[in-house]
Chains A and B, each alone.
Chain A
Amino acid sequence: MSENKSIISPVPGIFYRKPSPDKEVFVNEGDSVKAGDVIGLIEVMKNFYEIKAEADGIVERFCVENEDIVDAGQEVAVMK
């Protein structure tokens, strides 16, 4: 049995699922990722912060939409 694990944004800002508007998303729901893989970006104060998977696993779902505003400490995705 595997446990679900949250991916939290440590910074507030705008959440993006793509590296740039004309590129594909970093990952789709259901994709396998390795620890350290980027799953999204947060734009804040003219910086982009990379949100990374902390462990190997599967991205079960995203909890926020592309371009949603998130707060520091907010869950952005769930892994299993």
Chain B
Amino acid sequence: MLRIREGGLWTTVQDMGRQGYYHLGLPPSGAADKYSFIIGNLLLGNPVECAGLEMTLLGPVIEFGKKTSIALTGASVQAFINNRPLPMWEVVAVDEGDVLSFRFCKKGVKSYLCVSGGIQVPEVLGSRSTYVLSRLGGHEGRKLGVGDELMIGEPLPGAFKQIGKRVPVEFIPEWNDAKNLRVVMGISGNRISDEGIKTFLDSEWIVSAESDRVAYRYMGSSISFEEHAPPFGAGSSSSNVVDFAYPIGALMVPNEGEVIVLLNDATSGGGFVTIGTVISPDLDLIAQSRPMTRCRFLTITVDQAIQARMERKKQLMRLDEILKEQG
């Protein structure tokens, strides 16, 4: 069991997400930075679908109710077990009564705590991920608070043999402040003027403070729309199109001064012009970008996007092999 003594800023149970209901209006949720989350489970030798905790900027204070093994990945945080510094990206043993606490997170946003056997909240529609807006999944469909108790799995056979395994430094992301995000252009990009597309790609964009798991907002430049008469069924603004289903990663242009990228807890459809879609591996980078940091958008083709996804998969498979060879 995990006893929550303090909830931290925004801590939720997440796994790989709830697939197959987006067309019914239910977004996938799931870990915002999949790369870091997956590595947490790989380190422990957990099945990749085991649920963990996603922590935001300020972590919780947690008392462990039994001996198990844990791994902390993601945004770089100062973490402690009973006031002893806890290394990140490494399997560590904890005893019954040990207390995990956090201080500052200086780089990145989301850190992940995985435990051997996973966090055992009930599955809802095939996933343990929390979707706070609909109060669904996770622990009572909400972020964690003082006094919450979460069941955890029995340590898996061989779990304690994993202790000391660690991720080689070349697999650990650097959370730089300036990011390049790869985009497949399209959907309703024809509704943006040529000049607008040029400024979109040439500009540096700044993450706004209102960004969260639903969407990231970017400011700092402007995008002009194409002059046109709105079609039947669309709103009267130049930023409106006839409603359609948004992909996760959709880059919406709700007005000339802002772009919005939809993330895992996003609304599933609507009628804003979308200039393109951020590719899935780079959604992890978005989730780790702090308010007021900068980014640029780069265009790539669908083939290059699929290539990037394959490379990410191969990288994780290579890491899994390295971890299996350790110890």
A-B pairs, 7 with minimum CB distance: A72-B104, A73-B104, A45-B212, A46-B212, A11-B57, A11-B58, A10-B58
- Per-residue 0/1 for A38-60: is the Cβ within 8 Å of any B Cβ (1 yes, 0 no)? 00000111110100000000000
Pick from A12, A14, A73: contact of B290, CB under 8 Å: A12
Residue of A13, A43, A44 with most chain B CB atoms under a 10 A cut-off: A44
Q: Does A69 contact B (CB under 8 A)?
A: yes
User: Which residues of B39-80 have CB atoms within 8 Å of chain A's CB atoms?
Assistant: 56-58
Task: Judge whether A49 and B209 touch: CB under 8 Å.
Answer: no
The smallest C-beta distance from A74 to any residue of chain B, in angstroms, reads 10
For window 1-57 of B, CB contacts with A under 8 Å fall at 9-10, 56-57
B106 touches A (CB below 8 Å): yes
Q: Do residues B209 and A72 form an inter-chain contact, with CB atoms below 8 A?
A: no
- Can you identify 17 A-B contacts, CB atoms within 8 angstroms? A10-B58, A10-B103, A11-B9, A11-B57, A11-B105, A12-B291, A12-B292, A13-B291, A43-B209, A45-B9, A45-B57, A45-B210, A45-B291, A46-B210, A72-B57, A72-B106, A73-B106
Specify the chain B residue showing the minimal Cβ separation from A12.
Answer: B290
Are A47 and B9 interface neighbours, CB within 8 A?
Answer: yes
Which residue of A is nearest B210, CB measured?
Answer: A46
Q: In the complex, how many residue pairs between chain A and chain B have their CB atoms under 8 Å apart?
A: 44
Residues of B within 8 A of A10 (CB): 58, 103-104
In the complex, the answer to whether A45 meets B58 with C-beta atoms within 8 Å is no
Q: How far is A34 from B292 in the complex, measured between Cα atoms in Å?
A: 34
Distance to closest chain A CB from B128 (angstroms):
22
B104: A residues at CB distance < 8 A: 10, 72-73
Counting chain B CB atoms within 10 Å of each CB, which of A11, A45, A69 scores highest? A45
Residues from chain B with Cβ under 8 Å of A11 in the complex: 9, 57-58, 105
Report Cα–Cα, A73/B57, bound state, in Å: 11
| Distance between A22 CB and nearest chain B CB, rounded to angstroms | 21
* Nearest neighbor of A45 in chain B, beta-carbon distance: B212
* Nearest-CB residue, chain A, relative to B213: A45
Contact A45–B105 (Cβ < 8 Å)? no
Task: Report the minimal beta-carbon distance from B282 to chain A, rounded to whole angstroms.
Answer: 19
Q: How far is the CA of A46 from the CA of B213 in the complex (A)?
A: 10
Complexed CA–CA distance, A73 and B103 (Å): 9
Using known A-B contacts A10-B58, A13-B209, determine if residue A44 contacts B106 with beta carbons closer than 8 Å.
Answer: no
Chain A residues with CB under 8 A of B105: 11, 72
Closest residue to B105 on the A side, CB-wise? A72
* Docked complex Cα distance between A69 and B208 (Å): 12
Given A11-B58, A12-B292, A69-B292, 17 further pairs, Cβ under 8 A: A10-B103, A10-B104, A12-B57, A14-B209, A43-B209, A44-B57, A45-B9, A45-B56, A45-B57, A45-B209, A45-B210, A45-B211, A45-B212, A47-B10, A47-B56, A49-B9, A73-B106
Which residue of chain A is the closest to B208 with respect to CB atoms? A45
Set of chain A residues within 8 Å of B103, measured between Cβ atoms: 10
- Closest residue of chain B to A73 (Cβ to Cβ) is B104
Rounded to whole angstroms, the CA-CA distance of A72 and B291 in the bound complex is 12
Give bound CA distance, A13 to B56, whole Å.
13
